[in-house]
Amino acid sequence: MADKNIKSKYSPTVKELLTLIGGKENIQGAAHCATRLRIVLNDNSLADTKAIGELDYVKGSFVAGDQLQIIFGAGTVNDVYAVFVEEAGIQGMSLGDVKQQSAQKQNAFQRGIKALSDVFVEIIPGLLAAALLMGVTGLLSQQGIFGPESIVEMYPGIEGFNRFISIMSTGIFTILPLLVVYSATKRFGGNPVLGLVLGAIMLHPDLANAYLVGNGTVDPEVISVFGLRVSLVAFQGGIIIALMMGLVVAKLDRYFSRKVPDIIKLFLAPFLTILVSGFLLFTVVGPFGRLLADGITAGLMWSVDNLGIVGFMLFAGIQQVVVITGLHHVIGAVEAQLIADTGSNFIMPLMSVALMGQGGAVLGYTLAMWKNKKARQIGVSAFGSTLFGISEPALFGVNVKYKFPLIMGMIGGASGGAYVYLTGINALGFGATAVPGFAIVAAQGSGHLHYVIANALALAIGAVLTAAYLKVKKPIMD
């Protein structure tokens, strides 16, 4: 039950909200994430998103993933949710429940994209922790950040601490395929423990290391399985393969659980699942997955070599438009594969400047509309979120709503993308952008300094163009 003071503060807004979404009877369920109240409605057409966006404490509203998503901001959304559940007379659902409910109303393509997103959402906290640890050891040990000597060289007493951090930072990446199989198996409805088993097989120490085979220093053992020649090579860095195997394990687990008689199901169904999926791993999925992963990496590197600055500007210009569609979640899989294959990630700084371009646009809007209390409230909060890598409040609260800030932000992002190309900024990990992303930037070539400049450039151009447009055109702002 909501606290009395919280209820008195947010109850008027919640009651208006219930009216604007078509009443309590139009609600299937509700949950919240870090910044947004997420509601699954029976009929989305009954929701007046424009009027909802004008409510007190609301910073924007939109329908995405077949959910009505209302931005309240971190902290506030928790209190609003507590009042909303009580006023609506519904039982609170977990965020996973709401996602599952809304997925039933999506088409096959949307469900596929969402599934890929869910796989990586499950393990992103661990990846982000590892990436930030990697950033810390990079700041401590790389030369050229704070002077000709690294911090460890200047202060030898912290060498042991840096070594300790270095080991912790790389741990998750050595077993990343295992974690991806686990998460994918769980997401696709299989027993995640069987995903762990298959992941352990992928990284078995008796298999030849994939990286050593790739550089020609090790020749793998080749065996015959029912007449098929199988190379016993492990799958270090096989992120795409791990995703595919998670789906295979889940489908086989569900199939054998249905078909095997109950009296022998406990041991025979898992046995058959691992046996068949392991065979498919080495004979079909693994070889195909390697070709697919190599193709993705080769395509990205081709774009760098052939499209050059134009390709970087195009990606940074439109990346936040992709965020609006929800398709951006699959980029995490590409980044993971890129790091596994090349050891660095040029996509992250492009995503960061794309985000900061939109942040600059909302900053320009906020400064130009400073006398408008509602605009100031939404703009300040939205801009603050972009500094920590969250662009949805800026996008849906301001930029998409008024369109021209979105375009100015795209120009800012493209400008930052050009700077990223010219200075060769790279990242050591993924999952963090904007201010947190500073920790995972590679230090080579004054990478940290150029990262700050690139983001500041994107922000400044987005802000100046938006403010100038407002001053010159004086559009009607509702």
Break the chain into its structural domains and give their ranges. 4-106, 112-306, 344-473
Q: Take residue 422 and report the two structure tokens written for it.
A: 């010219």
Q: What is the pTM of this model?
A: 0.62
Q: What is the pLDDT of residue 190?
A: 92
Burial class (CB in 10 A: 0-12, 13-18, 19+), 144: middle
Helix or strand or coil: residue 435?
helix
Could you give the CA distance from residue 101 to residue 27 in angstroms, rounded to a whole number?
A: 11
d(CA 371, CA 362): 15
User: What residues have CB less than 8 Å from 257, skipping those under 6 apart?
Assistant: 265, 269
pLDDT of residue 155: 87
**CA-CA distance, 468 to 412, in Å (whole number)?**
13
Complete edge-to-edge strand list for the sheet that includes strand 60-64: 27-32, 36-41, 67-71, 60-64
What is the structure's pLDDT at 16? Answer: 93
Q: Quote the CA–CA distance of 405 and 360 in Å, as a whole number.
A: 9
Q: At what angle do helices 447-473 and 404-423 cross, to 10 degrees?
A: 150
Low-confidence ranges of the chain (pLDDT < 70): 1-2, 34, 65, 91-117, 121, 124, 127-128, 131, 142-147, 297, 300-301, 304, 324-330, 474-478
The active-site residue, picked from 11, 16, 28, 33, is 33
3-class secondary structure, 54: coil
Bridge partners (DSSP) of residue 69 are 38, 62
pLDDT digit string, tens, across residues 162-174:
889 888 877 877 8
Per-residue confidence (pLDDT) for residue 191, from 0 to 100:
94
Instruction: Respond yes or no: is residue 33 known to be catalytic.
Output: yes
pLDDT of the residue at 375:
81
The second-level CATH assignment, the architecture, of 4-106 is: 2-Layer Sandwich (3.30)
Residue type, 123: I
Q: What pLDDT sits at residue 93? A: 54
Residue partners of 438: CB distance under 8 A and separation at least 6: 135, 448, 451, 452
Cα separation, 93 vs 231, in Å, equals 48
What are the tens digits of pLDDT across the range 417-434?
999 999 999 988 777 788
Only one residue has tokens 């690294």, namely: 150
